[in-house]
Amino acid sequence: MMQDRTRMPPRSPATAAPATVPAAPATSSAAPAAADLVRCRWCTDDPLYVRYHDGEWGVPSRDPRHLFEMLILEGFQAGLSWITILRRREALRAALLDFDPEALARTDEAWVQDRMQDATLIRNRLKLRAAGANARAWLALPDPVGLVWSVVGGRPVIHHYAAPEDAPVAGPEAEALSRLLKRHGFTFVGPTICQSYLQAIGCLMDHTTDCHRHRALAG
């Protein structure tokens, strides 16, 4: 599951999914309509949530830009609902330089102050500073994708939870990733954030067993 730190629950309909993320399953006359599919209970009927749940959440990703984007978004989500992040994802993308770590690594306090004037953003000075600091830490890693995936041995961990609350708030993989990232200078990477991050990028496949995505991703 994705812990909603108000939420359970990270793509917006306007955002193209990364190359590693398949499109949501198509429907046909022989298949149930999308609205009739069973999904994880945290997924409401909000189209943003449905698209994210069906097309991105829990899909294994090894795209470095996508992994970096999700790490930044998870940090911005701290204390907020995930739907807030989804609704502001494109504004954040524009403000955070398309989640380009090389561009974000060059940001400074003047850049932070400028973003603090933008009402379309989540105006949190610490989170904005962390975006730049985490970009610099990301670029300093010799193999950021390998580091992230190392906590699950390089392969998705497939769980078979009957309900979202069966998953831990922060499991051993999240604890390990949090320690690794902090050691390398990252911030806003506590175990709970890392748990949601690992679920989002498919290191932990935590769709519940009644969800239509479970079979597709567990096979």
Residues 6+ apart with CB under 8 A from 19: 63
In the residue annotation, 74 being an active-site residue is answered as yes
Rounded-to-integer distance, Cα 26 and Cα 21, Å: 14
Rounded-to-integer distance, Cα 197 and Cα 60, Å: 12
Catalytic residue, chosen from 49, 74, 138, 173, is 74
Q: Is the dihedral of CA 16, 21, 22, 23 positive or negative?
A: negative
Residue 184 labeled ligand binder: no
Residue 53 labeled ligand binder: yes
Nearest to 38 by CA among 219, 156, 166, 207: 207
Residue 40 labeled ligand binder: yes
Give the containing element (helix H, strand E) for 158.
strand 157-158
In the residue annotation, 52 being an active-site residue is answered as yes
Residue 207 labeled ligand binder: yes
Annotated binding site for Zn(2+): 40, 53, 207, 211
**Active-site amino acid positions:** 52, 74, 82
